[in-house]
Amino acid sequence: MAGAPPASRTHRVKILVLCYEYPPVGGGGGRVAAQVATGLAARGHEVRVQTSGMRHLPATEQRDGVRIDRAESFRKKEDTCSVPEMALYLATSFLPALKIAREWKPDVIHAHFAVPTGVLATSVSALTRIPYVLTAHLGDVPGGVPEQTSHLFKIVDPFARIIWRKAAATTAVSSYVGALARAAYPADPHVILNGIAAPAHTGSHKIPNKLLMVGRLSVQKNPLLAIESLALVRDLPWTLDVIGDGPLRAPMENLARQKGIADRITFRGWLDAANVHAAMAESEMLFIPSLHEGLPMAAIEALHHGLVIIGSNIGGLADVLADDENGFMCPLEAPAFAERLRRLLTGPDLKARMSLHSKELAASFGVDRSVDGYEKVLRAVAREKE
């Protein structure tokens, strides 16, 4: 957090972070939680995290100025969490979180994900009178990922309303998530856009017409549409690297073989942050055919590397993708994606213009700006408690 101002002694805040996933466990939401926690610790605040444990991870760890406490959640996979596993997180983390709250006495609790983590925050807050700030990410809000969560929200809605009502302050990671929350609950969350630290090297030697996909290969990410779209431009030169894994990897590989384009696609599995940045540094375009997004970290990283973004016309990309400026927002149909791809693959000047605009947009997604937003909200709530 170079350049971030340290907190003065009189304004240091003790913050208990609750999140059912935290790196290396989880996806983008956990990464946001870690980034904010690390950023706040670098500014002199005291930060502790209560999260899900797995057998290969230590129960307690000090990392980047943050103490991380993990309770066994019986979670089977780092990148996937089922509803029963979320419930187990609540069951196994309740007593540890309550103990930390009573003995360590934080000024404020920061809960990531209204569901499930909000249940834990509300319970601990009720028993200790420590206020909590709620951060919504996407799937924890009705309408965020409807095909996966609509049936669940019919059950948990009364409890979710209590979670949102009892919060001392609420935030959302994108304009779209904020709008969903306002539509569902009597809340007006502060929108604090995700951000990243600018990469040290953004690459000056791009591989012509190299595309990239980054993320979990799941229904929400809609990766089969990428294969269908690329098959329609097989007459043009391009290559695709797929970073990530998930239940749709095998169907993607099978479809690529059926379409005769398997030799142009490399499935690289999950990579660490350094290798993801290295892949972005040599790529020209990022493919995001998702059905739903909150504010994908991969897209923010892509801006810093000057990638042109070819994404779905969905609300969760609106903060990071300006149609026909730094990429295209496409209807969820292969011919629509293919038409935009063809324009980019045959238009080097268009790519260059859009790449420049991505780099200009990146300035709005710096990690310091994001941490500034959370620090302001958490400090305000802590002061009200006093």
> Which CATH number does the domain housing residue 347 bear?
3.40.50.2000
Q: Do 19 and 148 share a domain, yes or no?
A: yes
In this structure, the dihedral spanned by the alpha carbons of residues 369, 204, 273 and 378, taken in order and rounded to 10 degrees, is 0
Q: Do 24 and 121 share a domain, yes or no?
A: yes
pLDDT at 156 over 90: no
Tell me the three state secondary structure of residue 235: coil
Question: Is 204 within the bounds of a domain?
Answer: no
Overall domain count for the chain: 2
Q: Do 268 and 332 share a domain, yes or no?
A: yes
Q: Do 172 and 237 share a domain, yes or no?
A: no
Domain range for 225: 210-365
175-233 pLDDT tens trace: 999 999 999 999 999 999 999 888 876 666 899 999 999 999 999 999 999 999 999 99
What per-residue confidence (pLDDT) applies to 191? 97
80-120 pLDDT tens trace: 888 889 999 999 999 999 999 999 999 999 999 999 999 99
pLDDT tier at 4 (50, 70, 90 boundaries)? low
**What token pair was written down for 123?**
């319970």
10-50 pLDDT tens trace: 489 999 999 999 999 988 899 999 999 999 999 999 999 99
What per-residue confidence (pLDDT) applies to 82? 85
Q: Do 173 and 136 share a domain, yes or no?
A: yes
What per-residue confidence (pLDDT) applies to 73? 84
By the 10 Å C-beta count (0-12 exposed, 13-18 middle, 19+ buried), 107 is classed as buried
pLDDT at 7 over 70: no
Question: Is 274 within the bounds of a domain?
Answer: yes
264-303 pLDDT tens trace: 999 999 999 899 999 999 999 999 999 999 999 999 999 9
pLDDT at 1 over 50: no
Share of the chain above pLDDT 70, in %: 96
Structural element, H or E, at residue 352:
helix 348-361
Question: Is 259 within the bounds of a domain?
Answer: yes
* 376 contact partners, CB below 8 Å, separation of at least 6: none
Average pLDDT score, the chain: 93
Average pLDDT over residues 117-137: 98
DSSP β-ladder status, 210-214 and 239-243? parallel
Q: Whole-model pTM?
A: 0.86
Q: Do 26 and 160 share a domain, yes or no?
A: yes
Question: Is 139 within the bounds of a domain?
Answer: yes
pLDDT at 321 over 60: yes
Question: Is 203 within the bounds of a domain?
Answer: no
pLDDT at 377 over 80: yes
Q: Do 356 and 282 share a domain, yes or no?
A: yes
